[in-house]
Structure 1
Amino acid sequence: MDLTVTFFISTGLCLHWAVKAQMDTVPRPTLCAVSSSVVRKGADVTLRCQGHLGSDRFQLWKDGELRDERNASWKKAEFLLRNVDEWRDARSYSCRSGQGPWWSEFSEALALVVTGALPKPSISASHSSVILPGTTVTIRCQISPQAPSQDYSFALLDAMSLEPFQRQSPPGTQANFSFLSVRPEDAGSYSCIYHRKTAPHRGSHLSETLELIVPGLLPKPTLWAKPSLVVAPGANVTLQCSRPKLSSLKDVTFTLWKAGTQMPLQQQTSVDLWTSFLLPSVRPEDTGCYSCTYRERTMLTRRSKNSDALELVVPDALPKPSISALPGPEVASGANVTLLCWGPSWTTRIVLYKEGHENILQSMAIDQDGAQFFLTRVTSKDSGNYSCGYQLLINGSLRTQHSDPLQLNVTGSEPSNTLIITLSCVSFLLCLLLLAMLCQGSIPMGSLQGESLRRGLCCPCLSWSTCLPHHPEVPIEETLYTEVAKKRTREPLVPMAEDPQGITYAQLNRRTLNERKTDHTKTPPEPTIFSSLTRD
């Protein structure tokens, strides 16, 4: 094969795999219809393409063809379809997101169903409208005998929002939607439709509305605080209560409760899924556990469970945390120590301090067992007073206190100091031994090379006067010991004398060692110097 052809084929393959690899790195987006993929004829619908971090371009495709493209900086793009038509808009849609020069794979296809083109079906339930919790209920959706015989799909919808709850594609002319064990939250208004499986997805009119009533407590809401659970006196706090989306509830009444009180604190009626309760200028007596509930406005008997309790803290001063040590405050050098810190139940993060240190030693999140700070292979430097505190982002000015100090004592010798002392002693003894050998003539003087070597061997161990004795009036002459060896026969250089007290005296004659061509009459006699060595 020609080299040029081979080159272009190889380049094409490389580009293909490079593009494919890059597409794999751009996450696949999702496509949804707001608020439902089932739309009445003539209404408007928004198709939302949700990308991921870094996505800045989006494309909307209809039946495999590009319909629209736009830039977006918030990881999503919305495409508005106005006055939808059962032929033009009841199609299959998908989208993809771009990041730089690369595009992701297509999202899963979304079938947009436009109702009003076919006769409505009938709807019925296997039980009466009032159903006990735990009962199995079947809702049946059946095509009218006048409807043309085609391949259809069925959908059970929320009668108000048209949001599909279940979908089926049975072979016959009816679909059975089952609730194996109904709950109070399954109560609501239902309807159903059928539509063509293939594009255009023309749908029927909505069936009649079917009401299901399931007595009992509704699902619990969620309660949270803004800006924080711990606030200074005089600050404002907002408690927000949100409920799950239920088809049977149109508007509800939210209620705020405080533990220890019989009457509700506040009530709000809302058609939204959440509401806000304002607590202005809170005081320390507002500290306590709060919860919220909701109920259907027209049916007082249908109420929800209580939300999880929320503890609000409004203290004059924040309480101190506590600290302890394992295995104890008295430990041996080289051991491991664990410092345990506990704070109030609303504490999120604990910090460790040491007296004499300005900065925080360690910081970590707290769990049900508190915070554990590990000190490994402690030494005497780790001894001292330790304390812990907690960090909070609060609304207002409030004092954050430290725990009572814990004194940690590290006892015993430290391995590093022991090694240093041992080496120092050995070095000192070696210096003494080497000096004794030099003084007794065990080491030939000819092997020494000048004053620098004598200083290196002796002076680190003994004083300067012991190593290099001299008279203050007479300059020390730099005489090499090798010169003495050349002019004299080998003889003991140092006469020995024994002292009854076990001290050996070494007498050095500098005139003998400094024998040179000098005028001795001009040089005063030099003194005799004694150096004492202790003999074992």
Structure 2
Amino acid sequence: MTFTFTALLCLGLSLRHGTPVLAGTLKPILSVQPDSVVSVQTTVTFLCEGTTGAQGYRLYKNGKYRRQEIPPNPKNKAEFSISKISSQEAGQYTCQYWTYGGGWSQQSNSLKLGVTGAYSKPRLSAQPSPVVTEGGKVNLRCESNQWYHKFILTKEGPQKQSWTLDSKYDHNTQQYYALHHVGPVTSNQRWTFRCYSFDSNQPLVWSEPSDPLELLFSGTLHKPTIKAESGTVVASGSPMNVSCQGTQDAEMCFLHKEGSQQSWGTQTPKESGNKFIFSIPSVADYSGGQYHCYCYSSAGWSERSDILELVVTGLYDYKPRLTALPSPVVTSGGNMTLQCVSWVGYHNFILTKEDQKFLSSLNSHYNPSIGQYQALFSKDHVTPNHTGTFRCYGYYQQKPQLWSVPSEPVEIHISGLSKKPSLLTHQGHILDPGKNLTLQCCSDINYDRFVLYKVGETDFTQLYGQRTQSGLSLTNFTLDPVSHSTGGQYRCYGAHNLSSEWSAASDPVDILIIGQHLDRPSLSVKPNSTVQSGDNVTLLCQSTYTADTFILSKEGATHQLQKMKSKSQDGELQAEFSMSAVTSAHSGTYRCYSSHDSSPYMLSHASFPVELSVTGHIGASIPPPSSPLPTAGLEKYLKALIGVSVAFLLLLLILIFLLLRRRHQRKFKTEAQKGTELQLPAGDAEPVTRDRGRKKRSNLAAAIQEESLYASVEDMKPEDEVKMDTSRPSEEDPQGETYAQVKDSRLRKTKAVHPSVTSREVPETNDEQAEEDRETDTQAAESEEPQDVVYAQLCSRSLRQGTAAPPSSQAGEATEEPSVYAALAVARPGPVPNNEDQ
């Protein structure tokens, strides 16, 4: 068989050379898949198509025999497959076939196979832009940094074209390039190009293909919508997506950056339909700029979309500083100024809000007073719409889409005209480091939440308010442990959940921290530490260290501190705190401190205490009613009130026991005993009968109360600090009523604690007695109030006075202050003897 095939092959060759007419009628057709230009490692299949009954096929490369295929059954075609093709396989291919009686056919027309990937890819761009108009022209530039003799430019699509271009050297860019003029172009088709580079000695061994370049047209169809999915201001290195939404029949959309010589990206439809997503894995400085998108369909090109301006931040490390002047809380309708400053000389500063809308951009100016570059963003007649978080950036004019790192955020709030709350400090204004501090914000307006703000800072603390039984709305802000950073001036605001506005600001409260300087000033009293009421007194605070301000405090006082600028005297710094016409209200323990203007809330160590005693005026020690009780005093008064209430309750129980005992004895009396008279104590002129139907209830109550009183007074000793006054003569008490008063020696005034005992008659029935017992229990329970209730009462008092800051104790004469008191009057109310403790 082999011999026969060889003989036939020789015969065919001889026929080919000897009978050209027969051979010319048997020319096969050669084709290649997937394409005539393929990348390395691609599997390529050559298809040689001859005539029916062909017995064998041969494939030639560059005129040389390469392979032979003998089909098992006679066919009209054969396949030659080359897997993982390399650059060595590039060249011109032909094929032929053999038949019985016909011999070998002519060779097919040559097919050029180009293999790409032998060199790095060049760059293809359109000048001046890939966006062209109908019938316009454009220059295509293929460029590479490697030396090649030739470039190949190809047009993809149904109407394929290619051009071979000679390369030139550009001394400005130090690149090899080739230019090709394209035009006129029309929008009824797509114009997609690639370019390759190659060595003229191997014309079919090409470089990798350039990125495709699509010429874009602004057509007449509906323009697409472009949007940055995560916002238009993106930090460097962050991923982002740009969406382009075209019409429903859009086949492809393109993203183009203004100033770029090639399209930014191409996307085909996804599952989402007519929405095309362009992903940028990591934005960089070249990502910043203005973008448009275009869409193409069988009907033609769309109009270009609106501009999308993409800004990349964080490209300059030094961030500016943003400050709200004078405060980040602005009254509705007022003016607001935001100051952006930087040590770096940025050409411009830009202010943005949290929604990343570009508010405004200003040129920077050098401020010699602070030695920095700044821009002032002013806004008049602010409204609640201006609330939000602001930041500022710096940038240079030649790169307006490349910004610095952002400043720290500043949150702006608008305060309204609603009533201001009160801000109170439970522990005083001067504190040692490590102590606890609680600031209470309260109001008689039912605010849903309260906000605490430290002047000069940008942060706010918000807490929900609580409603008290007295109708106040309040909350406690705990700031512990206290440190140097706690010092400062504080205000609070009230707010409703359904409104973005805050109330007017509370009066300020200063918190000062002790021991932040080495200084310990000295304090002395002139003329003496013990003076008469009405005298003038001067407290002298001195220091040998540098001090700008001296501060005088009184132990237990809740009003704001006295401050005075220092003066130099005999090589020392001092301040004189003068008090004229002093009263006993000025008595107490005083200390002084020093501070610097650079840190006004950081104090020195306290001076040694100085005791001031004012004598010579009865009742002068009663503090003025407008001054709130000191914290320590409140605790003492509260304890006294509880003690007196307990004593009263015990006495009342004894009276009730005696009453029940007497009623029990009366049940065993006979009718004959009804006429028996009840003997009264000495001095009573009128007897009382035991006749139930004819006796008077008031006389019976007096008798029972008197008898019970005598039984209980024996147990009340001086150590209980209770005094009994029964000095009223019998002739002044014709009714036989005896008056008794129980009083704490520390208290100033007398008041009936239980009116039912002093003004009501003793109950006759069990129902009346039970009602009286319930009233007694209720009053006893109400006498034990927690400390928060006391501060709520102080808050209520300050709200009635219209201010949270108590007045100074030096203003005017000391007036009488409401104090805690309790009294028990037995029998009919009468004049109260004046047994005040001095």
With normalisation by structure 1, the TM-score equals 0.40
Larger radius of gyration: 2
Task: Considering Cα pairs closer than 8 Å and 6+ residues apart, tell me whether 1 or 2 has the greater RCO.
Answer: 1
